């Protein structure tokens, strides 16, 4: 049986149906591939606890810069203590500070225990942080004028 002659008006419809059939096959293949990938177990990292906790920092540093250290909340100091000098070193264990407490000057290092349950938390060039009882107290150097008189 011979085929009837092709009608020129049926040609665009036939091409559209063929194109639709091809797109349906492509979608079916992509869905099958996607489903097979979902069913496969993911590759476990070598160190799972460190992989999640340690993201790649280099790209983040390029975007956001170095992170700022969050400043602790300081409690007001009701002590009659005064920082008289601080001697900081690159090794913080060698840093020392002179603190005047109750008329006596005492030389302290980081980690030293003081009165009232406080201990020296940090010795910085212009201040000292004391910690204890869930609070942080900051003793700062008193500003001096050029003639040496304290304000």
User: Quick one: average pLDDT of 13-28?
Assistant: 95
88-133 per-position pLDDT tens digit:
988 888 999 999 988 899 999 999 998 888 899 999 999 999 998 8
Calculate the average pLDDT of the chain: 80
Are 35 and 86 found together in one domain? no
Structure token digits, residue 49: 């606890």
> Is 51 domain-assigned?
no
Structure token digits, residue 132: 């204890």
Percentage of residues of the chain with pLDDT beyond 70: 71
pLDDT of residue 111: 92
pLDDT of residue 45: 60
> Is 2 domain-assigned?
no
Q: Which residue has the higher pLDDT, 76 or 132?
A: 132
> Is 121 domain-assigned?
yes
Least confident of 15-29, 48-62, 135-149: 48-62
Counted domains in the chain = 2
Q: How far apart are CA 149 and CA 100, in angstroms?
A: 17
Q: Which long-range contacts (CB under 8 A, 24 or more apart) does 83-87 make?
A: 83/127, 83/128, 83/139, 83/140, 83/141, 83/142, 84/141, 85/141, 86/123, 86/124, 86/125, 86/126, 86/127, 86/128, 86/141, 87/123
The secondary structure element, H or E, covering residue 119 is strand 119-123
Range of the domain at 105: 81-140
CA distances to 2, 81, 109, 123, 133 from 140, rounded to whole Å, are 104, 10, 16, 10, 20
pLDDT of residue 70: 61
> Is 50 domain-assigned?
no
> Is 23 domain-assigned?
yes
pLDDT of residue 49: 58
């Amino acid at each position: 049986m011979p085929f009837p002659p092709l009608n020129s008006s049926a040609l665009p419809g036939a091409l559209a149906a063929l194109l639709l059939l091809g797109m349906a096959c492509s979608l079916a293949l992509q869905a099958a591939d996607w489903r097979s990938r979902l069913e496969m177990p993911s590759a476990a990292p070598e160190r799972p606890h460190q992989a999640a906790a340690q993201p790649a920092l280099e790209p983040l540093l390029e975007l956001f810069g170095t992170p700022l250290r969050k400043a602790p909340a300081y409690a007001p100091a009701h002590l009659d203590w005064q920082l008289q000098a601080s001697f900081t070193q690159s090794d913080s264990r060698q840093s020392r500070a002179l603190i005047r407490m109750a008329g006596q000057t005492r030389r302290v290092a980081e980690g030293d225990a003081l009165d009232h349950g406080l201990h020296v938390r940090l010795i910085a060039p212009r201040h000292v942080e004391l910690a204890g009882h869930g609070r942080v107290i900051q003793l700062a150097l008193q500003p001096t004028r050029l003639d040496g008189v304290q304000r």
